[in-house]
Structure 1
Amino acid sequence: MSYEILSKIESPADVKALSAEQLDQLCDEIREKLIDVVSVNGGHLSSNLGVVELTVALHRVFDCPADSVVFDVGHQSYTHKMLTGRFNEIDTIRREGGLSGFPKRCESEYDAFNAGHASTSISAALGIAKAKLLTGDPSYTIAVIGDGSLTGGMAYEGLNNAGQHKKNFIVILNDNRMSISRNVGAMARYLSSIRLQPWYRRLKRGTERALSKIPLLGRPIGNVLKRSKSKVKHVMYRHTIFDKLGLSYYGPVDGHNMEELTNALNTVKQSKDPALLHVVTKKGKGYKYAEDDSAYYHGVGSFNIDTGEPISSDKNFSAVFGEKLCELAQADQRVCAVTAAMRTGTGLVDFAKLYRDRFFDVGIAEEHAVTFAAGLAVNGLLPVFAVYSTFLQRSYDQLIHDVSMQHAHLVLGIDRAGVVGEDGETHQGLFDVSMLNAIPDTTIYSPCYFDGLESALTAALFDCEGLAAVRYPRGSEGTKPEGYTIENLNYDIIGDKDADTLLITYGRLFNEAVEARQILQQQGKKLCILKLCRIKPIDENAVRFAADYPYIRFFEEGMASGGTAQLFRTMLDDLSYSGDYQITAVDDRYVPHASVKNTLKNLGFDAASMARAVQQSEEVSG
C-alpha cells in the first residue's frame, strides 16, 4: 500500500489540515499499516486498531506536545507514534534499537509519560496538570484510559483527586468492553448501563437551556432543581459516579465516528471543570480475526495476515501450566485459580470452563488478587495466582503482609519469568526472584522443562507451606541433553564432575549451559553443570557439592542484587569457600527491548558467552 496520506504526516499539524474525506482515508491507511507491522513484528494489535479514530481526533483537536496526552498502559500508542513524526520508523517497533511498543519520553517529546502497566494514567496526568497550573502553563492534559484499566484500584485513587483540579484536565474513557480478558465486576456492569442510556446527558443540557430562556423565573427554578433532593432532580440531573467525584461526564460517544468525536472533544475542551468523555470503541476494528477474537490478538506474535494463523504454534509453558492445574483441580476440589485479567495469557481458559466456581478473574488488580487469594487460603482452599512476573511487582506489599506474615498457603504461577524480549523494560520478568528472596519462609521453583513445571506445581500445592512460587519463561522448552530424563525438584548435576569449573544456573539458561559445555568439549575442555530447580531454599547438598570446585561461574537470568547467585555465595562463605566465584546477572539497570535471543546474548547469557567466560577465567587463573 502506498499510504498516500499517512506517509506525509510529519506532525499533528498535518492532521489538522486534512478534510473529512482525507481523515477517513487516513484512518484506513493507519489500520492497514498496523496490521502489516504487527503481523511481522508481533505486538499489540486489537487495542491499537480500536483507537485509530480517537487518536486522530485527539491530535486534530488538541495541540501536542504543548497539550499532554498520557496513555494508560501505552500498548495502544502505535497510531500516536505514526502521527507524531515516527511513521518512517514504525517498521522498527519492538525491534532492537527501534521504537518501543510503549510511550517513552526519551523517544519523543510527544510521549508525555512512560507507561507499560495499567491504571496509572489518571494519576500521572493529574500530576502533570498540577505542575502546569503551578507554573502558569495554560495547556491541556488528557489521560486516555480503557475500561479494563478501571478495574485497577489506582485509577480510582487518581479519580478521587482529579475532581479537585480546576481546569484543563480531561479523562478519556476508552470503553471497548474488554481489557485483555473480558471485563468483570461492578464497574463493567455500570459502564454497560451508561451505554444503554445515553439520553440523560442530552436531557440535562436541554432542560438547562430551556429553563434559561424563561424570563425572571427560569434561572431560579434551575438553581432550586440542582439543589433539591427530590425525585425530579434525579430524573433531570441523574449523576454518574464520575460526576459525583467532581468530573463533568460527557457521552457516550461513538469512538469510530470522526465528526462526533471531534465535536465531543471540542465540547469537553470548553468545560470549566475537569471532564470525563466516555468513548465507545470496538477492539480489533478493521481486521476480522482481531474483531472475532480480540483477546488473542491483544498481544500477538507474528502471524499470517490472510489467515490470521500464528507463524509459530509450539506448545508453551503457559499451556502446560494450565493443563496441569486442571488435572490437579480435578483430583482436589480445594484447588482454585486466580487471575488479574490474564485468563488467556496465563493458560487458564480451560480451567475457567471446567471449574467455573473455582475460577476467579478479579480484573487488573494484582494487589486485590493476592489478598483475595490469601482469604481463600486461610479458609482451607488451595489458591493458585497465575500472573506475569512484571505484574507481580504490583502486589509486593500484599505478599508480605497478607500472605507471608500469617503463613497463608498461596501458590504463585509466575509466567513470563526472565527476559521477555520485544516488550522491553516494563515487561521484563527480572525482579521476581530478588523480590521473593527477601520474604521469609518462601519457596521458589524455577524449572527448565515442562515436566519440571508439572512436578514443581504439584509440590508447591501439596508439599509446601506458606508462600510458594513456580516461575517459568515465555515460550517453549529447550531440547534435553542426551541421557537427561526427568527434571528433579531440587537440583541436577550434568557433565564432567572431574572438571575444574562448575557452571551453576537455573531455568531457561540451563539450555545455554548445556550448549556451552558442548562448545568447550570441542576445544578439549571439561565442564560440570549444577542446575538448580528449587532456588529458595537452596539445597545445602548442592552447596557442599559446589564447594569442591576451584572455579564457579553462576549465570542468573535476573537481577544480581538479592538474586540466587548472591545467596549461593553466602552459603559458600559459611563453608569457608576460598575458590574463584563469579556471577553473571543483570547489574543495576533496566533491559531494553530486543528479541529474547539477542537479549540473552547482550547480557552474556548465551552459550557462546558462557563458554568464553569459563575458558577465560581458567586461562587467567592458570
Structure 2
Amino acid sequence: MTFMKTETYYPLLSQINSPDDLKKLKKTQLEQVCVELREFIIDIVSCNPGHFGASLGVVELTVALHYIFNTPEDNLVWDVGHQAYAHKLLTGRRDKFHTNRKYKGLSGFPKRAESPYDCFGVGHASTSISAALGMAVAAKLSNSEKQTVAVIGDGSLTGGLAFEGLNNAAMNKANILIILNDNNMAIDPVTGGLNKYLVDITSSKTYNRMKQDIWKALGVLDGVKPSPRSVIQNMENSIKSFILKEGNIFESLDIRYFGPVDGHDVKRLINVIDDIKDLPGPRLLHVVTQKGKGYEYAEKEQTIWHAPGVFDKETGVIAKNPEDKHKPPKFQDVFGHTLVELAEKNEKIVGITPAMPSGSSMNIMMKAFPDRSFDVGIAEGHAVTFSAGLATKGYMPFCNIYSTFMQRAYDNVIHDVALQNLDVVFCLDRGGLVGADGATHHGAFDLAYFRCIPNMIVAAPLNEVELRNMMYTAQLGGYGPFSIRYPRGRGILVDWKQPFTKMEIGKGRELVVGADIAILSIGAIGVEVAKAVTDLENEVSIGHYDMRFVKPLDKELLDTIFSKYERIITVEDGTVIGGFGSAVIDYAMEKGYKGEIRLLGIPDKFIEQGTQAELYHECGYDKDGIITTVREMQRSK
C-alpha cells in the first residue's frame, strides 16, 4: 500500500505521525479516526498475517488514551501485547506497519528498543499492573507529575501476577490508572470465577440502565466544577453493591472502581478518563469491548480470528492451501488426537492447559472428555501445581504449556512436581524458534532449564510417530516428571497414526552409518540434519544420530560415537548454553574424549521475529549452516 493510497483512503490517519497530531483534531473527528484505524488494520493484516481481533477491540480505547495522556512522557503499559496495533499506528509506525512480524521488521508486540512510546516490552500476559506500578512508584519517588496507565485485557486478569500487582498497588497508594479491557476472551473464551463476576457486573440491566440515564442527565452540566459526573462516579459503587447484592472486589482491595463503560464510545471514554485521570491513588476503569469489533466475521468467530492468517477482507474467507490436506499434520494436532486415543484406554489421563485449548489442540481432548480436561486460565504456575495435586491421587496429568510460558511456572515444576517425583507429563508445544511472534515466544530454553532438574526426563521427538510413542510411554507411569517438547508447525510423516510402541527411556538411535563426522541431533531439527547429510554424501561420510533424550543421555551410544569419531557436531533448536550440546560435552569431558565437538543451536542472544526458516539460517543450524560447519571441520582436520 503506497503512501498516496493511504492519503486517499485514510485522510485523517495519514496525517497522524504522533499523538501530538491526534490531539490537534477535534473530538468530533475521532470517530472517523477510529474507522480509519480499523480499516487500516484490516487492510494490512489481511495480507500480512498477525494478531487481529484483539487490536480491533481496543481502537476507541487506544485513541482516547493517546488523546488524553501526554505519551510518551506519561507511561502507557499494554497487556497482552497483541492489543497494541492501533497504538503502533498512532505512534509513528504507520508507514512501517506492513513489516509487522516480518524478519528485520516491526515486532508484533510493544518493544522498548523500537519506540519511546513502548515503555515496557510485552509478550507474556498479566505483567502490566506490576510494571506500571513500578513506574508509578518511580514517579512518586522522583516527585514527578507523570501519569501511569496499565491496560490489561484478553484474559490477563486471570493470571496470578495481576493479582499480586493489584494487591501491592492498593498498599502503596501510587498514582496508577488500571484499564480493565473486558472482552470475555483470551484466545479462547475466558473461564473461571473472576470472569463470572465481571459478567454479573456488566449484565445487570437495572444497574446499567440507571447509570446510563443518570450519566446522560448530568451531561448538560459538563462545564461545572467539580464535575457532577465525577461525583456520581465516586458514589457509584454503593449503588452497584445495593443493586448487585455484592461488594466490589476492587474496592475491597482499596482500589477505586469506575465503570463499566462502553469501550466503543470514544467520546464517552474521553470524558470518563478525563474525569478520573487526576484522582490520587490507584484507580480501575472497567471498559467493556468486543474482540474483533468492526469486522463482522471476527465478531462472530473470535477464536478463529485471533490470528487468522491471510484472508480476503471482503468475503472473510481465510486462505487455505489446498495442498495442506496432503501434508503431514501439525505437531500440536498429533498431540491432541494422540491424547484422546490414550485417554480412551487409560481413564486416569487428564488434560490441563493454561488458556490455550485451541493453540495447543487440547480442545480435541476437551470435546472428547470434557470432564477430564481443564482450562485453568492464564495461570501457568497453577496449571503445574494443579497437575501435581491430581498426580498425588493416582491420575496421569498431561500438562500442555508452550515452552516460553512454562518459564513462568519454573518454581512449581521444581518444588511441586520434581521434588516429590510425581508422574506429571509436560508437553511443551512451540519448543525452539517459533517464527513471527519473535523473542517473547521462542521456546529457546526448555532443554536447558529442564535438564538441570533432578528426577526430570527430557525428551524431544524427531517426528510424529516418536511423539506418539513418547506420550504412550510416559502415561504408563512410574517415571516421575516427564517432559516432551516439540516444535511449532508440521512434521514430516503423512502416515503418522501408527500403533503405539513403548520406548526405552534414555535410548537414541543411529539413523545413518558414517565414518568421518558424527552429527547428533535432538528433536525435529534432525530433519535439517538429514537434508545436509544427503547433500554431503559424495563429499564426506557422516553418521547421523537421533538422540531422543537429553536426560538421561544414551551414554552407551555416546561411548560408541566417541570411540569411532574424532569430530562431532551437535544440533538443537534451543540455546547452546546449558542445552543438549552442553550435556554431550559434559559427558565427553567425563570420559576423556580428545576429539573436536562443535555445538549448533540458538546462540547466547535473543532472536527476533521472522519465519522459522529465516531464523534457523540466522542461527546457523538450517541445512546450509550444518553443511558450512561440516566443511569447516573437514578443512581443519
Q: Same fold (TM over 0.5)?
A: yes
- The CA deviation string for residues 478-537 of structure 1, in whole angstroms up to 9 with x for no partner, is 369xxxx9997632322332x210011121211111111122124x32211111212211
Match of 1:546 in 2: 561
The equivalent position to 1:156 in structure 2, one of 152, 157, 163, is 163
**Cα displacement (A) at 1:576:** 2.3
Letter in 2 for 1:75: H
Alignment of 1:324-339 (within 5 A): 324-339=338-353
**Cα displacement (A) at 1:72:** 1.0
**Cα displacement (A) at 1:134:** 0.9
Match of 2:230 in 1: none
Cα distance in 2 between the residues matched to 1:41 and 1:53:
23
Cα distance change of structure 1 residues 3 and 542 upon mapping to structure 2, 3 Å threshold: farther
Letter in 1 for 2:616: L
Tell whether 2:552 aligns with 1:532.
no
**Cα displacement (A) at 1:557:** 1.4
Please say which of residues 364-373 and 449-458 is displaced more in the overlay. Answer: 449-458
Match of 2:22 in 1: 15
Match of 2:585 in 1: 569
Match of 1:375 in 2: 389
Please say which of residues 461-470 and 44-53 is displaced more in the overlay. Answer: 461-470
Cα distance change of structure 1 residues 249 and 348 upon mapping to structure 2, 3 Å threshold: same
Cα distance in 2 between the residues matched to 1:246 and 1:307:
45
Match of 1:91 in 2: 98
The equivalent position to 2:149 in structure 1, one of 135, 142, 149, is 142
SS in 2 for 1:568: helix
Alignment of 1:493-508 (within 5 A): 493-497=510-514, 499-508=515-524
SS in 1 for 2:571: strand
**Cα displacement (A) at 1:38:** 2.1
Cα distance in 1 between the residues matched to 2:264 and 2:117:
23
**Cα displacement (A) at 1:267:** 1.6
**Cα displacement (A) at 1:198:** 7.3
Cα distance in 2 between the residues matched to 1:434 and 1:339:
22
Cα distance in 2 between the residues matched to 1:556 and 1:439:
19
Match of 2:455 in 1: 441
Tell whether 2:597 aligns with 1:590.
no
**Cα displacement (A) at 1:323:** 0.3
**Cα displacement (A) at 1:574:** 2.9
Match of 2:289 in 1: 281
Match of 2:428 in 1: 414
Q: May I ask how many residue pairs the two structures share in their alignment?
A: 598
Cα distance in 1 between the residues matched to 2:629 and 2:35:
52
Alignment of 1:131-530 (within 5 A): 131-146=138-153, 148-166=155-173, 168-197=175-204, 234=242, 239-305=247-313, 306-312=315-321, 313=324, 315-463=329-477, 465-478=479-492, 490-497=507-514, 499-522=515-538, 524-530=539-545
SS in 2 for 1:611: helix
Letter in 2 for 1:153: G
SS in 1 for 2:130: helix
**Cα displacement (A) at 1:471:** 0.7
Letter in 2 for 1:196: S
SS in 1 for 2:73: coil
Please say which of residues 415-424 and 513-522 is displaced more in the overlay. Answer: 513-522
SS in 2 for 1:508: helix
Letter in 1 for 2:509: D
Letter in 2 for 1:590: F
Alignment of 1:589-608 (within 5 A): 589-608=605-624
Cα distance change of structure 1 residues 81 and 93 upon mapping to structure 2, 3 Å threshold: same
Could you tell me which runs of 5 or more consecutive residues in structure 2 were left unpaired when the two chains were aligned: 219-233
Match of 1:214 in 2: none
Please say which of residues 335-344 and 449-458 is displaced more in the overlay. Answer: 449-458
Letter in 2 for 1:240: N
Match of 2:221 in 1: none
- The CA deviation string for residues 314-364 of structure 1, in whole angstroms up to 9 with x for no partner, is 520111100000111111110000000000000011211211110111100
Cα distance in 1 between the residues matched to 2:96 and 2:634:
45
Match of 2:88 in 1: 81
Cα distance change of structure 1 residues 432 and 329 upon mapping to structure 2, 3 Å threshold: same
Cα distance in 2 between the residues matched to 1:19 and 1:538:
67
**Cα displacement (A) at 1:19:** 3.2
Cα distance change of structure 1 residues 73 and 233 upon mapping to structure 2, 3 Å threshold: closer
SS in 2 for 1:610: helix
**Cα displacement (A) at 1:564:** 1.3
**Cα displacement (A) at 1:301:** 3.0
Match of 2:226 in 1: none
Cα distance change of structure 1 residues 390 and 530 upon mapping to structure 2, 3 Å threshold: same
CA contact (8 A) 1:328 1:458 kept: yes
Cα distance in 2 between the residues matched to 1:125 and 1:419:
29
CA contact (8 A) 1:95 1:593 kept: yes
Tell whether 2:620 aligns with 1:613.
no
Please say which of residues 22-31 and 465-474 is displaced more in the overlay. Answer: 22-31
TM-score (norm: length of structure 1): 0.91
- The CA deviation string for residues 575-612 of structure 1, in whole angstroms up to 9 with x for no partner, is 32111111122232111111110000000011111011
- Aligned-residue CA RMSD in angstroms? 2.7
Cα distance in 1 between the residues matched to 2:448 and 2:240:
59
- The CA deviation string for residues 427-482 of structure 1, in whole angstroms up to 9 with x for no partner, is 000111111001111112211211111111111111551100111100001369xx
Cα distance change of structure 1 residues 205 and 440 upon mapping to structure 2, 3 Å threshold: farther
Cα distance in 2 between the residues matched to 1:426 and 1:387:
15
CA contact (8 A) 2:60 2:264 kept: yes
Letter in 2 for 1:549: Y
**Cα displacement (A) at 1:304:** 3.7
Cα distance change of structure 1 residues 233 and 183 upon mapping to structure 2, 3 Å threshold: closer
Cα distance in 1 between the residues matched to 2:462 and 2:69:
50
SS in 2 for 1:297: helix
Cα distance in 1 between the residues matched to 2:547 and 2:399:
23
Letter in 2 for 1:389: S
**Cα displacement (A) at 1:231:** 12
Letter in 2 for 1:43: G
TM-score (norm: length of structure 2): 0.89
Identical-pair percentage: 40
Match of 1:223 in 2: none
Cα distance in 2 between the residues matched to 1:120 and 1:32:
29
CA contact (8 A) 1:145 1:173 kept: yes
Cα distance change of structure 1 residues 403 and 233 upon mapping to structure 2, 3 Å threshold: closer
Cα distance change of structure 1 residues 303 and 317 upon mapping to structure 2, 3 Å threshold: farther
- The CA deviation string for residues 219-253 of structure 1, in whole angstroms up to 9 with x for no partner, is xxxxxxx99xx999956997411112121111101
Could you tell me which runs of 5 or more consecutive residues in structure 1 were left unpaired when the two chains were aligned: 211-225
